[in-house]
Structure 1
Amino acid sequence: MALLDRKPFALTTDLVIFAFDSEQLRLLLIRRAKEPFSNRWALPGGFLEPNETLDDCAERELIEETGLQLRHLEQLAAFSRPGRDPRGDVVSVAYLALVRANEQTLQAGSDAAEAAWHDINALPSLAFDHDEIVATGRRRLAEALYTTTSAFKLLPDSFTLGEAQRAFEAVAGEPIDKRNFRAWLQNKAPLRETGEARRGQHRPAKLYKLVEGKDNQ
């Protein structure tokens, strides 16, 4: 079959952006202002424009719809199930990123009526096949939990060991044994004490930083 005889399809990007608010893992969603699925919540994203790479498309759509500007987006997977988009044959390339919730200011724009963080365990009904994309992103995040230091991107620059454990538990979706977690930190995560402490109702907790280096992923 000649190339020009093949059935055309459109390309989009969708973005799975996770954040941690000290208690819950949260997902960035936009409320659609246009059909299809007007007024439904969805992942940020949109169509690839002429002379644009997929990476550029993902960065542009994220800025236009949420106001976030991120330069470290990881390609997650492609989604091509027939009928996934009522507008026609549309293949979506999804991207994944982790951010610090308290450092981000959201500003809805383009065809997004609203942008907001949602508790990953209490998501609204999502447009298209975005529930499948979110599930894939969460699996990828959980699979990398103990093989990389990527989960530390959810934490502030300085954090307590208790805060780190809560972030890891939010990603894992289950409690983690404290002794096992501390042993993993000691053996696998390059941390250093900052010399400062977080003060609260209980005794001060030491603050740590992740040591940036070539082994961090």
Structure 2
Amino acid sequence: MSNTATPPISHVEPLRSPNDVIKALSIDNLIFGLDNDELKILLVKQTDPMHQGKWALPGGWIRYDENLRDAAYRLLEELTGVKQLYLEQLKTFGRVDRFPTERVVTIAYYALVSAEHYSLVAGQSAADVSWQSVNALPELIYDHAEIIDYGMKFLRHQVCHQPIGFNLLPEKFTLLQLQALYEAILNTKLDKPNFRRKIMKMDLLTPCNEKQQGVPHRAANLYRFDAEAYKHLTESGFSFEI
């Protein structure tokens, strides 16, 4: 889940008629956002009579003339206003009874971002859009709670075995900020000495030889994540593990 790739920018257009989409295949986007040391997920409130007032993952039907990833970007932007982030495919969900009255398979995409970097705008088929805490989800439609649960387990496994969490930090950060990030994603309290010892032992942080500025407490040392060191270590069989 890298932030370095440049995704295609979709153009927002009016929603197509049912004849223009594959009615048996849909997209659902799981956009996890870190917001003030709390992990949240982006949800949209439904407007259709069957689910009015309920929340859902931003998604919808795939057009016959578009690729899967393009559909994911388009739907995300149409419903939430969020664009220019990198999506990765998570899993296909196809339980027979997941959608009422007909068979629909959905392909889930996901991303982990800093929530504060994105402005939200509810699209024409969404009553509202907001970041919701993953620990206090509202009532969701279909099997979206199940999809989010799977996504959370996958995300927590990923951050423990790949340094993707560093993408959410400023270029220069403290060890306390790093620990707070992992505690938010993993939803658990980490032992401070053990966490710091494990992180420093990996030799992935470069001291900036600077301290925090303008803080009411004792200023902490600042570090940078060394991407080149991580690349060289992985080539030698290094395994990142929190």
Cα deviation for residue 208 of structure 1 reads 2.8
Amino acid of the residue matched to residue 84 of structure 1? Answer: R
2:91 equivalent in structure 1: 77
Residue deviations 1:112-132 (CA, integer Å, cap 9, x gap): 111101111111111110001
| Aligned equivalent of 2:191 | 177
Query: Residue in 1 aligned with 2:168?
Result: 154
Corresponding position of 2:224 = 209
Tell me the equivalent position of 1:43. 57
1:139 matched to 2:164: no
Distance 2:36 2:176 in 1: 10
Identity between Structure 1 and Structure 2 (%): 37
Greater displacement, 172-181 / 31-40: 31-40
Q: Secondary structure at the match of 1:145?
A: helix
Equivalent-residue separation in structure 2 for 1:187 and 1:75 (angstroms) = 32
Match of 2:44, SS state, is strand
Contact 1:21 1:102 in 2 (8 A): yes
User: Separation in 2 of the partners of 1:145 and 1:44?
Assistant: 23
Output the amino acid matched with 1:202. Answer: H
1:125 aligns with 2:139: yes
Q: Is the 8 A contact 1:192 1:211 kept in 2?
A: yes
Contact kept in structure 2, 1:190 and 1:210, CA below 8 Å:
yes
- Pairwise CA distance, 1:133: 0.6
Measure how far apart 1:189 and its partner are: 6.6
Instruction: Give, in whole Å, the separation in 2 of the partners of 1:174 and 1:45.
Output: 30
Counterpart for residue 92 of structure 1: 106
Question: Match for 1:52 among 66, 69, 84?
Answer: 66
**For structure 1, which runs of at least 5 residues remain unmatched after alignment?**
1-7
Query: How many Å separate the matches in 2 of 1:130 and 1:154?
Result: 25
- Code of the residue aligned with 2:110 in structure 1: it is L
How many residue pairs match? The answer is: 210
Q: Measured at CA, do residues 42 and 133 of structure 1 come closer, stay the same or move farther in structure 2, by a change above 3 Å?
A: same
Contact kept in structure 1, 2:43 and 2:55, CA below 8 Å: yes
- Taking structure 2 as the reference length, the TM-score comes to 0.79
Contiguous gaps of at least 5 residues in structure 2: 1-21, 235-239
CA distance in 1, matches of 2:188, 2:101: 39
